[in-house]
Amino acid sequence: MLSIGEKIIQNDSYSIKRLYSGVDELSFNIGISDRDIAIITEEAVVKETTYGQTYIIKAIDRGKKTEDVRCVLDLDDWRATQFVDYTNDSDTFANTVSGILPSGWTLDNQTGSTISRTVSATEGTGVTPYDVLDACRDAYRVVYQFDNQDKVLHAYAAGSGSYVGTFVSEDLNLREINYKGKSTDFITVLRARGKDGLTFADINGGKDYVENHQYSAKMIWGFWKDERYTDASSLLAAATSMLYDASKPSRSYDCDIIDLKMTDPEKYQSVAFNLFSRVKLIDKDARTAITAEVVKYVEYPKYPEKNEITLDTATPDIYTQVQQLQTSLSNPNSAYQQEQAAARTTATAQILSGTGGYVVMHTNAENRIYEILIMDTNDVTTATKVWRWNSGGLGYSSTGYEGTYATAITQDGAIVADFITTGTLNAAVINVINLVAEKVLAADESSNTVDIQSAIIKLFSGTNLTASIFGSTCMSLSGNTQYPGAGSPLSSALLDDNARLSYMRADTLWVGMDKYLVTHGAIDAESIHIKSITPRGESAHDVSWKEVNLAGGGTAWALCQD
């Protein structure tokens, strides 16, 4: 049963999606005409009584007859405080989490982790306890389950779920199976580095790498560096664990199952599914039997016959999209790292080939050096390629000693350059003329919103404007079009007779307008509520439905002027 405050929501077909991240989701729908729909609002707290957990409404999708509502587990306790300049001073998982537990919460630590790792915030920034907890996933390779009723955080080592003896097969409990396999990140040899170039060669037979040929005898290399590791044995253990997953294809199975234990707990006590547990999947069509981990479990508490599970043979990615981006920064086989490698190779080649040139020291009247020059000649009057370093900064000019210095780092903190290749750019304000990006991600994925202020948004297909948002006006266009510009009528966006424009303001909607302000569009809706109608070429008329007499006899309902 679901409730909001004292109000019971009359819906028993809801589902609970148990996710590997630990932040479970609750989904349900409610009819538009339901008397309780007014209390279904964003940030309302929903109580689920089967397991006693509370959820917060985060998204409402209203359709013609129902609203689809998505909620996430209420973890606001973990975001209610903030630490500035946080660091755990390189401590264990248990000590780190114990130091940030919200009031009333306890830790059920089943990770078995005793290693120490450094978890810290960027200097001058603030983080919540949840931010620290999220960082611990990667640092200590752990996963979580939250119980916000009893205020308990359950923590486990990632991928350490034990085989529970449960089988999944067509003959027993499997209705449908969908298989996905990939080996894009497949390697069999991993070379590792820790802080200050630390290796584990001394304790690994002279090898600074580990191998795992459980799936292939090929030598396929990867490289991993993590400066948080200061102990060789810990680095070796982490590399071995990482390679275990990377040295076999990642296989995922979406299984539509009959959750027998939920339908008859006494009879099927041994056929149980839990997040993180490992089960035996028998795929008769593929003639395989594999042991896989439950990484997602969709449960319908009142209709267990609809339950679904997702199995994975490798420990899944438990990080956010931003952390996936960080993974691509550290993955030597990623497209980004290949670009970085190419840039480093080019830079290295240029520097290594720079054996010519002249170093000139400028001195003042006291014979004190105040400027260093590296030039293509030894005379500032004839040199064209000049590196110039003084108290004002460091700069490069390709047009001589007097500049212009198009590449420079100046004493006021400014960097001037035509091209910068970098891994992570952290800035308060970025001023960009042209932005080329594969993704723009929200800072807070709990709401997935991006605030854009004081802006005009334009979308183009080639040179044709296809959509724009400015002020309170949203436009969609087709054909030969352009942006109308400030102060110009919207119709100036349409460059020929076939171009069309639809726009919406707070109080107006036009569909399919041409350059002559004639509309050609249509509105398809289940119901339209109107007060007046303006026939083309006429003024507005207030209208209402009236029963009229037909010339041929009988009556009908017609929309008539009042």
* Domain span at 372: 327-416
Task: Extract the tokens encoding 76.
Answer: 């606001």
In a domain, 15, yes or no: yes
* Count of other CB atoms within 10 angstroms of residue 181: 10
In a domain, 480, yes or no: yes
Whole-number average pLDDT of the chain: 78
Give the span between the Cα atoms of 92 and 423, in whole angstroms. 29
Q: Give the domain-ending residue among 157, 182, 212.
A: 157
Q: Which amino acid is at 16?
A: I
In a domain, 120, yes or no: yes
Which has the higher per-residue pLDDT, 180 or 215? 215
Residue 371 shares a structural domain with residue 386: yes
- Segment 302-320 shows an average pLDDT of 59
Which has the higher per-residue pLDDT, 144 or 417? 144
* Count of other CB atoms within 10 angstroms of residue 267: 10
**DSSP per position, 158-169:** TT-PPEEEEEE-
In a domain, 61, yes or no: yes
Which of these ranges, 85-94, 306-315, 410-419, has the smallest mean pLDDT?
Answer: 306-315
pLDDT of residue 210: 93
Q: Where is mean pLDDT largest: 19-23, 98-102, 219-223, 329-333?
A: 98-102
Residue 391 shares a structural domain with residue 342: yes
Residue 388 shares a structural domain with residue 406: yes
Q: Where is mean pLDDT largest: 161-170, 411-420, 456-465?
A: 456-465
Query: How far is C-alpha 474 from the geometric centre of its chain's CA atoms?
Result: 27
Q: Where is mean pLDDT largest: 207-211, 231-235, 391-395?
A: 207-211
**CATH (domain of 116):** 3.55.50
- Segment 517-529 shows an average pLDDT of 79
Q: Are 44 and 58 in contact (CB under 8 A)?
A: no
pLDDT of residue 265: 52
In a domain, 492, yes or no: yes
The count of structural domains within the chain is: 5
The pLDDT tens digits of the residues spanning 364-382 come to 888 899 999 999 898 888 9
Residue 50 shares a structural domain with residue 110: no
Residue 89 shares a structural domain with residue 128: yes
Q: Give the domain-ending residue among 16, 49, 74.
A: 74
Q: What is the pTM of this model?
A: 0.46
Q: Give the domain-ending residue among 30, 55, 74.
A: 74
Contact partners, residue 245, CB within 8 Å, separation at least 6: 159, 314, 315
pLDDT of residue 299: 83
* Count of other CB atoms within 10 angstroms of residue 491: 14
Handedness of CA 348, 350, 356, 361 (dihedral sign): negative
Which has the higher per-residue pLDDT, 96 or 317? 96
Task: Extract the tokens encoding 285.
Answer: 């069509």
Residue 58 shares a structural domain with residue 119: no
In a domain, 205, yes or no: no
The pLDDT tens digits of the residues spanning 137-182 come to 888 888 899 999 999 999 988 766 544 445 454 443 444 445 444 4
The pairs formed by 511-515 with CB atoms below 8 angstroms and a separation of 24 or more are 515/491
pLDDT of residue 229: 83
Q: Is the pLDDT of residue 464 over 90?
A: no
| Separation in Å, CA 482 to CA 204, 323, 487 | 66, 39, 14
Percentage of the chain lying above the pLDDT 70 cut: 72
In a domain, 134, yes or no: yes
Handedness of CA 205, 211, 213, 214 (dihedral sign): positive
